[in-house]
Amino acid sequence: MILDSKTPSGPIGDKWDRRKFENKLVSPANRRKFQVIVVGTGLAGASAAASLGELGYPVKVFGIHESPRRAHSIAAQGGINAAKNYRNDGDSVYRLFYDTIKGGDYRAREANVYRLAQVSVNIIDQCVAQGVPFAREYGGLLDNRSFGGAQVSRTFYARGQTGQQLLLGAYQSMMRQVNAGTVTLHQRREMLDLVVVDGHARGIVCRNLVTGELESHEADAVLLCTGGYGTVFYLSTNAVNSNVTAAWRAHKRGAYFANPCFTQIHPTCIPVSGDHQSKLTLMSESLRNDGRVWVPKSQGDRRPPAQIPDADRDYYLERRYPAFGNLVPRDVASRAAKAVCDEGRGAGDSGLSVYLDFADAIKRNGEDTIKARYGNLFDMYARITDENPYQVPMRIYPAVHYTMGGLWVDYNLQSTVPGLFVLGEANFSDHGANRLGASALMQGLADGYFVAPYTVANYLGGTNLPPVKASHDAFGAAKADAQGRIDKVLQVKGTRTVREFHRAIGAICWDHVGMARTEAGLAGAISQIRTLREEFWLDVIVPGDANNLNPGLDYAGRVADYMEFAEVLALDALERRESCGGHFREESQTPDGEALRKDDEYSYVSAWEFKGVGAPPELHKEPLIFEEVHPTQRSYK
Amino acid sequence: MVVKLKVWRQAGPGQPGKLVDYVADKVHPDMSFLEMLDVVNEGLIRKGDDPIAFDSDCREGICGSCGVVIDGIPHGPDKGATTCQVHMRRFKNGDTITIEPFRARAFPVLKDLVVNRSAFDRIIAAGGYVSMNVGGAPDANSLPIAKAMADQAMDSAQCIGCGACVAACKNAAAHLFTSAKISHLGVLPQGEPERDRRVVRMVEQMDREGFGSCSNEGECEAVCPKKISISNIARMNRDFLRAIV
């Protein structure tokens, strides 16, 4: 089946205006007749709930956390892009659009990306009006920094805690609606199923994580804002409770999963220190503005970095990519780091790290300036590694950070299940095969504040939705399914912990579906995943019961879903026999080791339809048509 | 290294709890405190025992989920750090470590080390925002804000809502948390129109939730992982007085 993206016709600059005009509206008095469910309270979820609440829709919000403010958007460090051109350095909506399409290695939908660039300017206005304390210059105007993959300074930031401040802005707006009575919060709830009635998303089944009770909630539209699936790799920069469960359960009810193999490995993370490691910590990409990345020129050079003279250092990013230098996009920087470590030139005891050196920047700008720019990041690094990065270069290594793939959505952010909308990292739409720095926050807020309010209204205003009650059979069936799964995992009473299984699936994914992927490796990974999944259901141990707070049980459900999801992740990587962005197939590279795209064969979105656990999913394609930007070999040289 | 643990175990809300002894062996100095607890839990699970319940998520000090009292100090011995940022190199081989939940009447224990801090959400809902709808914002640079003022707002806005300030206070007061939000919004021109209304509503909600009064002990500031200054409380008191007189 060829998927219809429902992109409006006309010139790219007019498409969104055209769609907004074509859209059905719901009059203010009628809005209170519709029930909207928002799952997830990160940037996308909180901003969508706030916006819909302000418009007068009754909104029920669900989140796994104790408080909506704990969603993982809170941890984003670096910044948020917007085409404000406040620096007079040649930025424009069109340039942000162009950079994002190119940065995504020509695997994103043009119209979505253009809209993202258009509304980026409104996001900054919105956030400043909310009181988000962005960094400012002495003149009182907003400051900007540059980020990887761009030659202009368009990134707005709040120290190294931009995600925190943007999320608190959205959270506070949402809490204002809680106070106003339009939004009701349902925290410590995990969505366990999407309820589909007559082909439309009509509610969810969720579990109260404190009492264990399964609850049914009916709705006229469901918005999934549940983030990415990076924790399938076990170690990642994601929060330890991030998971694919809500998206995966929706997938099993008919929402296609798009481009799961597009995963982002972030180049600047603190290296793994031992087997006990539960997560990896990102060092913001903004550090590459002032830090220089290098390794020793010769293999096995184990001298302390201070004793390695300049002549014996290889500043490999500056050497290979003179135009962008240390600011190449993430996928390029990560692969380059892996390459030098594979050559045996890596730093540290494990040889699995590279230096990020601030000595020159400190000499040039003074330690105080560097401290003002990155103080909290340096503190964080020192706390974790017990080393002082003002004196010794940081050691960094790539780690899983973000997932560009997600549930397939059309231009209206609607999935293949009518009435199910997917926002933020949980959808696939805007970043192609690689996301540029400071674009995730932009997308989450664009979807929530400025896109979904229009497209959800169009759906509600233009669809005949007969009333559905939580007593409907479909809710009962979904509840029974969820209960069956919980009972099953508790009854196994095996010998291996959930964490052991999570580590095992993570190792398979990192080794074979990580930074370098091969035909044989991926095929092998799929059979290993199947075996591991069988072992999980025979040998997992989950103590306790389902009638109270039992974090181990919640964790088991999430890892069980990864046992299924990992297979389509590997399959997608296997079937895409080209390299693009974060997806690097060793068989498809240029003579100098850059990703080699095959536009003739793979210029499409892969959208997988679920056909049963263990059964091969069916591939549907959405052809990518480039009317504005002509795909070329990406060059940052 | 090996450490001995005394951990608060409590089956559910309102039930009796007690300190239970555990031994954590194979502790690596580079482990984080929570990774040490992960390893202890792995051992408990393998024996079919109920693992120790604790909240944590980002594990890099920003989400505010984690928070236990380590040897009597909320978030433990490191200044300006959350529980997840404490590393085992901070302890010595053979140490005995006591681990308890954040205790306050307004933070009921749900299980073991997990408490319910939703009172904080209700304080924010009472007025911790700028009342503006999406769509009406002027250009972001139309209102210049002095850098010093923006920096001051950011200092207060850094609060992660972990509740350590409440746990450290002998009165279980939420003044540092509440005042940080009031200062963040109060020093910015965007927050000025609602300055009086906001402080009154948030302070009243704080009282309704059962938090105590401030008696200027300064314990809150001492344990705050984001080093939020106690001067925010002075500002809140001043604003409150201004608003009601």
pLDDT in tens, A469-487: 999 999 999 999 999 999 9
Residues A322 and A197 in one domain: no
Q: Which residues of B touch A47 (CB under 8 A)?
A: 134
Answer whether residue A619 is part of any domain.
no
Half-sphere exposure of A631 (CA within 13 A, CB side): 21
Give the domain B3-111 fold. Ubiquitin-like (UB roll) (3.10.20)
User: For position B107, what pLDDT does the model report?
Assistant: 98
Note the pLDDT of residue A438: 94
Whether the CB-CB separation of A508 and A566 falls below 8 Å is answered with: yes
Q: How far apart are CA A445 and CA A81, in angstroms?
A: 11
A486 touches A305 (CB < 8 A): no
Find, among A234, A300, A282, A149, the residue nearest to A511 by Cα: A234
In the block, tokens 């939705």 appear at A465
**Residue A342 covered by a domain:** yes
- pLDDT of A593 reads 85
pLDDT at site B90: 96
Q: What does the domain layout of chain B look like in residue ranges? A: 3-111, 118-134+143-244
Total number of domains constituting chain A: 3
Q: Domain for residue A66, yes or no?
A: yes
Look up residue A205 and give its two tokens. 């089944």
Could you tell me the sign of the dihedral formed by the alpha carbons of A421, A424, A426, A429, in that order? positive
pLDDT at A148 over 90: no
Q: What is the CATH number of the domain that holds A321?
A: 3.90.700.10
Helix (H) or strand (E) holding A616: none
The predicted structure's pLDDT at residue B235: 98
d(CA B125, CA B157): 16
Q: What is the mean pLDDT of residues A303-309?
A: 95
Give the Cα separation of A45 and A368 in Å (integer). Answer: 38
Q: Are residues A438 and A484 in the same domain?
A: no
Buried-exposed string A168-204: b where 16+ CB fall within 10 A, e elsewhere: bbbbbbbbbbbbeebbebbbbbbbbbbbbbeebbbbb
Domain B118-134+143-244 has CATH 3.90.870.20: no
For chain A, the straight-line distance linking the first and the last C-alpha, in angstroms and rounded, comes to: 39
User: Looking at residue A633, what is its pLDDT?
Assistant: 84
Percent over 70 (pLDDT), chain A: 100
Q: How far apart are CA A329 and CA A175, in angstroms?
A: 36
My answer on whether A97 and A149 are in the same domain is yes
- Tokens 């074509």 belong to A22
Query: Given a cut of 80, is residue B133 above it in pLDDT?
Result: yes
- Cα–Cα dist A242/B60, whole Å: 14
Token reading at A315: 């500043």
Look at residue A149 and tell me whether its pLDDT is greater than 80: no
Of all residues in chain A, the percent with pLDDT exceeding 90 is 92
Question: How far are the Cα atoms of A7, A380, A501, B100 from residue B27, in angstroms, in the given order?
Answer: 56, 22, 22, 20
Check if the beta carbon of residue A413 is closer than 8 Å to that of residue A452.
yes
Q: Do A124 and B140 touch (CB under 8 A)?
A: yes
Contact A439, A100 (CB under 8 A): yes
Residue from B36, B129, B184, B226 whose CB has the most chain A CBs within 10 Å, to mutate: B129
Burial group, residue B244, by CB count within 10 angstroms (0-12, 13-18, 19+): exposed
Checking if the pLDDT of B181 tops 90, the result is: yes
Chain A interface, best mutation among B37, B39, B42, B63, by max A CB count within 10 A: B63
pLDDT in tens, A131-146: 999 999 999 999 998 8
Span A585-625, pLDDT tens digits: 999 999 988 899 999 999 999 999 999 999 999 999 999 99
Sequence-distant (≥ 6) Cβ neighbours of residue A326 within 8 angstroms = A288, A289, A291, A292, A293, A317, A318, A333
Condensed to tens digits (0 to 9), the pLDDT of residues B136-171 reads 999 999 999 999 999 999 999 999 999 999 999 999
**Helix (H) or strand (E) run with residue A190 in it:** strand A189-197
* Mean pLDDT for chain A overall: 96
Q: Which of B41, B118, B158 sits opposite A187 (nearest CB)?
A: B118
CATH number at residue A510: 1.20.58.100
Contacts of residue A596, defined as CB under 8 A and 6 or more positions apart, other chains included, come to A578, A579, A588, A589, A590, A633
Do A392 and A408 have their domain in common? Answer: no
Q: How many CB atoms lie within 10 A of CB A43?
A: 36
Under a CB-based contact definition with an 8 Å cutoff, are residues A192 and A245 in contact? yes
Please tell me the distance from the alpha carbon of residue A588 to that of residue A590, in angstroms, as a whole number.
7
The verdict on A57 and A165 lying in the same domain is yes
**In this model, does residue A2 exceed pLDDT 80?**
no
On whether both A207 and A64 belong to a single domain, the answer is yes
- For the domain that residue A55 is a member of, what is the CATH number? 3.50.50.60
Size of interface A-B (CB pairs under 8 A): 219
Is residue A1 a part of any domain in this protein? no
Whether residue A484 is found in the same domain as residue A530: yes
Domains B3-111 and B118-134+143-244 share a fold: no
Q: Which of residues 179-238 of B touch A (CB under 8 A)?
A: 184-185, 188, 190-191
Per residue in B77-106, pLDDT tens? Answer: 999 999 999 999 999 999 999 999 999 999
Contacts of A499 in chain B (CB under 8 A): 38, 42
The residue-averaged pLDDT of A427-454 equals 97
Instruction: For chain A, state the CA radius of gyration.
Output: 24
In a 3-state reduction of DSSP, which class is residue B115? strand
Within a domain: A608 = no
- Whether A257 and A385 map to the same domain: the answer is no
What pLDDT, in 10s, does the model give residues A165-197?
Answer: 999 999 999 999 999 999 999 999 999 999 999
Strands A36-39 and A221-224: parallel
pLDDT for residue B158: 97
Domain residue limits at A482: 473-599
Taking all residues of chain B, what is their mean pLDDT, rounded to a whole number?
Answer: 97
| Catalytic pick among A95, A109, A330, A533 | A330
- Examine residue A551 and state whether it is found in any structural domain, yes or no: yes
Q: Check whether residue A336 and residue A415 sit in a common domain.
A: no
* A330 is annotated as an active-site residue: yes
Interacting residues of A170 by C-beta distance below 8 A, sequence separation 6+: A43, A46, A47, A50, A445, A448, A449
Radius of gyration of chain B (CA): 20
Q: Quick one: how far is CA A369 from the chain centroid?
A: 31
pLDDT tier at B41 (50, 70, 90 boundaries)? very high
- Write down the ipTM of this complex: 0.98
And the tokens for B69?
């009292």
Same domain, A536 and A553: yes
Decide: B236 and B175 in contact? Cβ < 8 Å: yes
Assess whether A420 and A386 both reside in one domain. Answer: no
Q: Kindly state the greatest CA–CA separation across chain A.
A: 74
Residue B20 per-residue DSSP state: E
pLDDT of residue A637: 83
CA A232 to CA A257: how far, in whole Å? 15
Q: What is the pLDDT of residues A397-424, one digit of tens each?
A: 999 999 999 999 999 999 999 999 999 9
pLDDT above 80 for A38: yes
Q: Which of A401, A423, A451 is the last residue of a domain?
A: A401
- pLDDT for the residue A446: 98
The per-residue pLDDT for range A194-228, each reduced to its tens digit, is 999 999 999 999 999 999 999 999 999 999 999 99
A415 and A488 housed in the same domain: no
**B146 near A CB under 8 A:** yes
* Per-residue pLDDT tens over the stretch A322-342: 999 999 989 999 999 999 999
Would the pLDDT of A285 be above 90? no
B142: Cβ contacts below 8 Å, ≥ 6 apart? none
Mean pLDDT value of segment A626-634:
92
